[in-house]
Amino acid sequence: MTRNYDGLGLAELVRTGQVSPSELVEEAIRRIERLNPALNAVVLPMYDQARAAARGRLPDGPFTGVPFLLKDLLSLYQGVPTSCGTRLLQQVPMPHDSEMVRRYKAAGVVILGKTNTPELGLVPVTEPAIFGPTRNPWDLTRTPGGSSGGSAAAVASGMVPLAGGGDGGGSLRIPAACCGLFGLKPSRGRTPTGPDVGEVWHGFAVEHVVTRTVRDSAAMLDAIAGEDVGAPYAAPHAERSFLSEVASDPGRLKVAFTTRPFLAERVHDECVAGVHAAARLLEQLGHTVVEAAPAINGEAFAVDFLTLITAETRAEIDWIGKFVRRRPSPGDFEPATWALGLLGGAVSGADYAGAARRLQLVSRQVGRFFEQYDVLLTPTLAGPPVPIGALQPTALEEAMLKLVGLLRAGWLLRALGTIKPMAARSFDFVPYTPVFNVTGQPAMSVPLHWSAEGLPIGMHFVGRFGGEATLFRLAGQLERAQPWFGRWPPGLGDLS
């Protein structure tokens, strides 16, 4: 069965003539058709394009002939809509491929469709109004995380061995943690954002993939890394291929660990237990492990982060309106998205610049911490995957958001503080990951722990800026010491 191979394994079967790309595509389509009704991971099938590509001459890349899915956000595919989870873009074909999609294609993958994402990628769960929630293969009542939740559910269920995603506040690492997968957020500037965007969310967001194996992540990063034309900045060039690092000895690393949340008050006991178990494993592997963490004013950080995101949301809504050539209205977006845009419209230039400056100072502070340590270990999340709907606005909040949206009264929303408790619920779930989107450092979620209920609990490792090589060496060592590839969600055989 093809799910027993990772992406590089399938590519080797193609290369040696044991299977054809068309056979892999048909098997992947069969699995999507069988599994997707329960999971709602794939929201835009592209089977005709995939079949045509598989029959044609594919590029000679590390993943030639391997089935692949794109996240329905940022990754533009010519002639196909990129909805970003919004009604306004749901039926609008894109005029060209984004540079990232061009590089995915050059790696040889065969793109079968696009995966579910929350509207504009704004929340750490995948429950857009236009497509409905994606469900976690490990427990259909729970979220696969977000915003790359559709991609993670697809990979965790075995539809495809790897899928595209982006990470602006944890959006690759969160779903990886929720679904028992490997997810690495590269350093800022490591992967391209062109040709239409210079930087996404003030440079917080970066695209890559979610995978079942470390080597698939490394090989794909080799294929897609590097600045594109007109890039505002670039990460330092790697000295060797990332794939070669996976099998390399990381040496004796100095690892700091903490279970203290940066942006919340409490962390679930299972996450604490997972960190302590990971720390013990690191010591057994010969690393120096010390309990320490950078000091971060969580409340101030959250306010500044939200200030920038609201302004970016306003800009995105305005851009979408210009793209579809009509003025956006409250009915075009979910109430919470529209409300964030209203708040963003009330953010002054000085507010935005001040928040950016303060977050850059946090980056300086965290950077000094990493002068003492090679890696920081935390839980990826504050708890196991939350139930579907747990982070949605309450009925009262939604009614208030709709009223304020109709009045276009961003000042009233700010005065009432309606967004604050909603944002706090998200930060309570993701109190670690956004910090390293701001600092731009590489960070990965590694599936090293499962709860007593059998739910995945990801462990979060952060490296120095430009230090993906160190993380891949460590991840490869952890994968060999405590393999996870053979773990599949229980009951999945009934669906497959």
Active site residues: 71, 147, 171
d(CA 489, CA 447): 13
CA atoms within 13 A on the CB side of 458: 33
Dist CA 92 CA 98 (whole Å):
15
Decide: 221 and 190 in contact? Cβ < 8 Å: yes
In angstroms, the first-to-last Cα distance of the chain is 11
Query: Alpha helices of 195-241 — where are they, by DSSP H?
Result: 214-224
Neighbours of 369 (CB within 10 A): 17
CA dist 270 and 458 (Å) reads 10
Between CA 78 and CA 49 the distance in angstroms is 11
> How many other β-carbons are positioned within 10 Å of the β-carbon of residue 229?
8
Tokens representing residue 257 in the block: 């660990």
Distance CA 478, CA 483 (A): 8
Strand partners, 257: 291, 377
Cite the beta strand spans of 28-159 per DSSP E. 42-45, 67-71, 110-115
Q: Which residues contact 112 (CB under 8 A, 6 or more apart)?
A: 25, 28, 29, 32, 42, 45, 46, 47, 50, 67, 68, 69, 160
Residue 337 CB neighbours (<10 A): 25
Rounded-to-integer distance, Cα 202 and Cα 340, Å? 16
Beta strands in 284-329, from DSSP E residues, in sequence order: 288-291
The tokens describing 144, both together, are 């696969």
* Residue type present at position 454: G
Q: Count CB atoms within 10 A of the CB of residue 203.
A: 18
**Edge-to-edge strand list for the sheet holding 443-450:** 42-45, 110-115, 67-71, 162-167, 206-211, 182-185, 443-450, 456-463, 375-379, 254-257, 288-291
Q: How far apart are CA 117 and CA 115, in angstroms?
A: 7
* Separation of alpha carbons 5 and 66, rounded Å: 11
Q: Tell which residue, 134, 180, 187, has the closest CA to residue 155.
A: 180
Pairing label, strands 254-257, 375-379: parallel
Q: Which of 216, 257, 221 is nearest to 238 (CA)?
A: 221
Cβ 163 vs Cβ 209: under 8 Å: yes
- Sole residue written with tokens 């790696």: 107
* Rounded Cα–Cα distance for residues 308 and 304 (Å): 6
